[in-house]
Amino acid sequence: MKLYTVPGAPNPTKVMLYIAEREEMGVSMKIEQVLVNPIKGEQKKPEHLLRNEFGALPVLELDDGRFIVESLAIIYFLEDLFPENNMIGIDVTERGLARDIERNIEFRFSNIVGEYIHATNSPLGLEPNPGVAAKLKNIFPKALVYIEKILSDGRDLLGGEKPSIADCTLQSALQFARFAKVEVINGYPLVQEWDKRYRQRPAAKLVLKF
């Protein structure tokens, strides 16, 4: 299999962190990573549009030549393909809760922070939009309060002691903020500590560039 990806971008990083965490747990996925550079517009080139008509990253190319183009669908595919010692676990309630945290973080934090970054100091060179940035800056702190509450019982990681998909999602958004030099977690000490802790993990050291 091949993963078309780019370090630094949030959705590709989420999948790359997931793969690195699973490999750390002893799963050998044998996925070749192929760079597609959005700063050069390579995600909109005809050869990439054949992989993903939406012109986005990441894309997983299966061994039979078909493609999966949504980051979370790629992760769940890999969970199913390599079920032993998977990340989301087997207990139905635990799985439901883990998925809930991940979705809340993506929809209420990562996606909004991504738009905030593009409106503030876009790595893709989009025109800054202070009006949009000011509006978004009032929205994502609610998610930070939610994350602080989760971490307030002293857990190391979002799902407890083991890494979860939510950790990959949150860290990929925070890396994007560091890459763009846009501050988003000041005043949220438990999130800041989690961030420092997570970045010490071998998988994080392998994947994160910023």
Ligand X SMILES: N[C@@H](CCC(=O)N[C@@H](CS)C(=O)NCC(=O)O)C(=O)O
Binding region for ligand X (CB under 6 A):
9-12, 38, 43, 55-57, 70-71
CB 15 to ligand X: min, Å: 8
Distance CA 183, CA 54 (A): 29
Structure tokens at 104: 């809340």
Closer to ligand X by CB, 58 or 159: give it: 58
Q: What is the 3-state secondary structure (H, E, C) of 96-156?
A: HHHHHHHHHHHHHHHHHHHHHHHHHHCCCCCCCCHHHHHHHHCCCHHHHHHHHHHHCCCCC
CB of 109 to ligand X, least distance (A): 14
CB of 150 to ligand X, least distance (A): 22
Q: Which is nearer to ligand X, 9 or 185 (CB)?
A: 9
Shortest Cβ 11–ligand X spacing (Å): 4
11 or 171: whose CB is closer to ligand X? 11
Q: Which is nearer to ligand X, 12 or 163 (CB)?
A: 12
CB atoms within 10 A of CB 61: 17
